Every structure is written in structure tokens, then in C-alpha cells.
Amino acid sequence: MLDLLPLLGTWRPAASGQRCAVATVVGTSGSVPRPVGTSMLVSEAGEVLGSLSGGCVEGAVVESAMEAMHDGGTRREFFGYSAEDAFAAGLTCGGGLEIHIEPLGPGPGRLRLESLHGLTGRHPASGAALIRRMDAGGGGAVVVPDPAAFQVQQSTELAALLGAVGSAGAGRMLLAAATQLEPLLRGGRTGLVRLAPAGDCQPEPVSLLVESRLPSARLLIFGANDFGAALLPAAKLLGFHVTLCDARPAFAQQDRFSAADEVATAWPHRYLADQARAGGTDARTAICVLTHDPKFDVPLLQAALSLNVAYVGAMGSRRSHIGRVDALRQAGVAEQDLARLHSPIGLDLGAVTPEEVAVSIAAELVANRSKAAGLAQGSASLKDASGPIHHYAATHQSSGHHASNLHHSSLPDSSSGMPEPQEAQWT
């Protein structure tokens, strides 16, 4: 549901006060297009905001949503693959989706559009969370404006949502809820939580869908050059709060960097140290060093590798990487910290141009975030591989890329008459 909030304010049915229902993925099996928590809004006129499966089951979901708005009840629908019934709504990918469908409205225990509108101004820049009750015994939602600081056991709204107010087992239920809910809230994650009911009147478990979004993680790009300009929009697309830093005002103040959330003109290592002291970095921060100048790189990487951040990457050829690591060792950087350095930066995609290198870096950021580096079509992190960075020769040159894009990597070795191993990311 949180993913729909940026579009909710301009969605005509919501603005005009039409009745709506929300359909949410609450269970998956096998290969499915969207994860648990994905939602789609349906208006009484049949207009749709969002998607659950990319088209496989939406028509059937809209029909069930219209029925839910008509009779006011919630529904659970399951969609899988059926080879026997060619006309049944199902997933061609072979997986299964369990969909919870609920009318929105002013009734008791209902999720209200007004509550969602209250979140639109907070997501995603400042973080927000939504806890919805999804079992047959109840409904409604609790809006959490600051998920990182939310205390489950202190919330009377959550106690009311659980039906735990005044019951003998209320304290025990809230403690169990805190154990499961708070890690999801503070981690910015989505998940379905099941709790034993507080009393005997409801024998079935209470189901809560938690959607939490923390403030956007920061990406610090050091280097106002072609590679930094290409990485900036890719990082914004991934949801990062992007800062570009360069010590040279004439480079940093170019219009092509105006899309950054912040542009800083400062010596990189001093800027990073100031940000760390002020609490501007945390365990989700990513740092990309694209300057490729030892006077900037070495002190900057020394500072970066001393911080508790999610990712530190540096551009350069294998030759420059070796020299840089030697300089960092001499500066006292420990081996376990050097092992955290992604250098050469990016996944091994055969990237050459600034735009291709930006895709390579963005791919490694995603893989690092999901701890899945090396799983995408056999691509490995360049820092864990050996040999040439790129595995091509004539392809890029014959397709219109000039030799200058190779950063001298294709120049012959005058002593042997043979070309040097392919190098890029600057030699």
C-alpha cells in the first residue's frame, strides 16, 4: 500500500470521494511477479491504481473488489496455475498468490482513505509505516509516522487493533507483538505477523500486515565527472537520497548535477568526516568514490572504511586498485576493512561507457542490499574476480564507441607487439 501513496493524491477516484476497495498480496508460493504487501486500489467505477501480477489476475480481482464494495465484506482469493481450466484466472509463471480484498470506508474497523492521505506527505523522504489487520476477526489499520521509534507496548491504537484492550492476556499479546513487529518496523521491511489471540472469544490467530519504509538511504557520490553524472539518475531511480561531492567548484556546479538532492563543494575526506560526526551516515549509507585521483581517493577511502556503512566502492583499473590498497595499508587500514572495499567498482557486466558503468554500479548496490551478488545470470562482483575487467574487443568499437572510451585499454604493448589485457574504469 505504501508504494501507492505517491500516486494517491492525483488518482481521480480518491480525490472525488468514490468508494474504493484495496486488494493486497498476503501470501505467495512458487514463482510470483510481486511480493507480499503489494496492493492495488479499485474504485466503484472499476478504475485501478497499481498492479498485483502484471495482468494475469487483475480482472478477477477487480470483480471481487466490486462485490466487496457492494456487500461490505472482506474476501480472500487464491490464484494459481491451472493446466486443466484454460479460462481460469491464474498465474502463467506457475506460482500462487493469496489476495486479501477489503472495502475502504468510514465503518468500524475499516481502513480509511483519510488515513492514507495523512501518510502521503511523509513517504518516502521521512519514513512511514502501516499496520493492517488482515484476519477474519477484525480489520482496520494503525498509521505509524516514525517507524524507527515506534514502541508497540506503548500504543493504545495498536492494542485496540489487536482487540487486546482490557483483556486478561493483553500485556502478553502486546509483548509478543513487539517482538515480531518492531524488527520489521525498524528495518523498513514488509511482512505478515501472526499472533495468538488475547482471549477465548477468537480462537484463530490475529494476522497483521506490516509495511515499513524508513527515510531514504543516502548515497554519497564523490567525483563530478561523466561517471558521477550517469550514476546520479540511476541512484535516484533506486530510491537513494543522493549527494554529489567534489572539491572543484567549476566541476561540481555544472547543471548536469542539479538532480542531486545535495551538491557539496569540499575536500571529500573532510566532507565525509563532517557528515559522520553530524550523524549523516548510518548502516544503510552507500559511498561511491569515482574521483580516481590518489590525493582524493586514499584519505577518502581511509575515512569511509572506518565507518559503519553498507557499501564502499571505488572506481579504477586493477592496476590502480593494487596501488591504492598498498597506500591504504601504509595508512594503517586493517585487512578486514580493506576486504569491504568494492574495487574495481560494480558487477562484471562488461560495462565501458559512463552509462553502462552506472548500470554496473547500480546493479552491485542492489545486489549488496539484497545480499545476492553474483546470482544474477552468473554475474560476479568485479572485486571478487580476477583477470581483465571486460571480456570483449571489437564489439564496442565496431558499434560506434571510440577508442577513447577504453581509457587506453586497447593500446598495444610496444615491447611485445601484443595488446595489453583489457582495462577500464581508468588505468
Indicate whether 384 belongs to any domain.
yes
Q: How far apart are CA 285 and CA 308, in angstroms?
A: 8
Amino acid at 266: A
Confidence band (pLDDT; 50, 70, 90) for 96? confident
Q: What is the pTM of this model?
A: 0.69
Q: Domain end: 215, 243, 265, which one?
A: 215
Tell me which of 164 and 271 has the higher pLDDT: 271
Q: Are residues 222 and 174 in the same domain?
A: no
Indicate whether 70 belongs to any domain.
yes
Q: For residue 403, what pLDDT is reported? A: 32
Q: Are residues 126 and 86 in the same domain?
A: no
CA 26 to chain CA centroid, Å, is 20
Residue 86 has pLDDT above 70, yes or no: no
Indicate whether 164 belongs to any domain.
yes
Q: Domain end: 165, 194, 215, which one?
A: 215
Lowest mean pLDDT among 77-81, 84-88, 237-241: 84-88
Lowest mean pLDDT among 137-151, 357-371, 383-397: 383-397
Question: Residue 19 class from Cβ within 10 Å (0-12 exposed, 13-18 middle, 19+ buried)?
Answer: middle
Q: Are residues 150 and 177 in the same domain?
A: yes
Confidence band (pLDDT; 50, 70, 90) for 417? very low
Grid cell in block for residue 67 = 462485490
Q: Are residues 198 and 91 in the same domain?
A: no
Residue 256 has pLDDT above 90, yes or no: yes
Indicate whether 285 belongs to any domain.
yes
Indicate whether 413 belongs to any domain.
no
Q: Are residues 240 and 369 in the same domain?
A: yes
Indicate whether 53 belongs to any domain.
yes
Mean pLDDT score of the chain: 81
Q: How far apart are CA 93 and CA 119, in angstroms?
A: 34
Q: For residue 389, what pLDDT is reported? A: 53
Structural domain of 194: 122-215
What CATH code is carried by the domain that includes residue 358? Answer: 3.40.50.720
Q: Are residues 89 and 208 in the same domain?
A: no
- The number of distinct structural domains making up the chain is 3
SS3 for the chain, per residue? CHHHHHHHCCCHHHHCCCCEEEEEEEEEECCCCCCCCCEEEEECCCCEEECCCCCCCHHHHHHHHHHHHHHCCCEEEEECCCCCCCCCCCCCCCCEEEEEEEECCCCCCCCCHHHHHHHHCCCCCCCEEEEEECCCCCCCEEEECCHHHCCHHHCHHHHHHHCCCCCCCHHHHHHHHHHHHHHHHHHCCEEEEEECCCCCCCCCCEEEEEEEECCCCEEEEECCCHHHHHHHHHHHHCCCEEEEEECCHHHHCCHHHCCCCEEEECCHHHHHHHHHHCCCCCCCCEEEECCCCHHHHHHHHHHHCCCCCCEEEECCCHHHHHHHHHHHHHCCCCHHHHCCEECCCCECCCCCCHHHHHHHHHHHHHHHHHCCCCCCCCCCEHHHCCCCCCCCCHHHHHCCCCHHHHCCCCCECCCCCCECCCCCCCC
What is the mean predicted confidence (pLDDT) over 94-99? Answer: 82
Q: Are residues 43 and 163 in the same domain?
A: no
Q: Are residues 202 and 223 in the same domain?
A: no
Q: Are residues 185 and 240 in the same domain?
A: no
CA-closest candidate to residue 267, choices 280, 249, 282: 249
**Cis peptide bond prior to 108, omega within 30° of 0:** no
Q: Are residues 244 and 336 in the same domain?
A: yes
Indicate whether 5 belongs to any domain.
yes
Residue 3 has pLDDT above 90, yes or no: no
Q: How far apart are CA 57 and CA 63, in angstroms?
A: 10
pLDDT digits (tens, 9 = 90+) for 269-300: 999 999 999 999 999 999 999 998 889 999 99
Q: Domain end: 80, 105, 130, which one?
A: 105
Q: Are residues 296 and 247 in the same domain?
A: yes
Q: Are residues 189 and 233 in the same domain?
A: no
Residue 426 has pLDDT above 70, yes or no: no
What is the mean predicted confidence (pLDDT) over 345-354? Answer: 92
Indicate whether 411 belongs to any domain.
no
